[in-house]
Structure 1
Amino acid sequence: MLKVALIGSTGAVGQEFVVALDKHPWFNLTHIVSSERSAGKKYVDAIRDPQSGILKWHNREQIPEYVRDKTISKFDDINPKDFDLIFTALESDDAQIIEPKLAAHVPVISTAAAFRYENDVPILIPGINDDHTDLLKKQQEERQWKGFIAPMPNCTTTGLAITLKPLIDSFGVKSVFMTSMQALSGAGRSPGVIALDILDNVIPYIPKEEEKVQIETKKILGKYDNESKEISVNDVKVSCTCTRVPVSDGHTEVVFVETIENADPSSVKKKMMEFSDNVSIKRLPTAPREYIVVNDDPTRPQPRVDREINDGMTTVVGRLRKDSVFDNGIKYVLLTHNEKMGSAKGAVLLAELFKTKKII
Structure 2
Amino acid sequence: MSYIVFENVNKFFGNNHVLKDINLEVEKGQLVTLLGPSGCGKSTLLRCLAGLETVTSGRIYLDGNDITDVSARTRGIGMVFQQYSLFPNLNVFNNVAYGLKQNKIPKQEIQEKVEEILEMVGLKEKITQYPNQLSGGQQQRVALARAIVTEPKVLLLDEPLSAIDALLRRNLQIEIRRIQKELNITTIFVTHDQDEAMVLSDMIHLFNEGFIEQSGSAIELYANPRTKFAATFIGNYRILPAADLAKATGEIFTCQDVAIRPEIVQISYQPTVDEDKYHLKGVITNSISHGNIIRYNIQCGEVNLNADVVYESGIPYKEGETVYLSVRKDGVIEL
Task: Tell me the TM-score range normalised by the shorter chain.
Answer: under 0.3
Which is higher, the Rg of structure 1 or of structure 2?
2
TM-score, length-normalised on structure 2? 0.27
Structure with the bigger percentage of strand: 2
TM-score, length-normalised on structure 1? 0.26
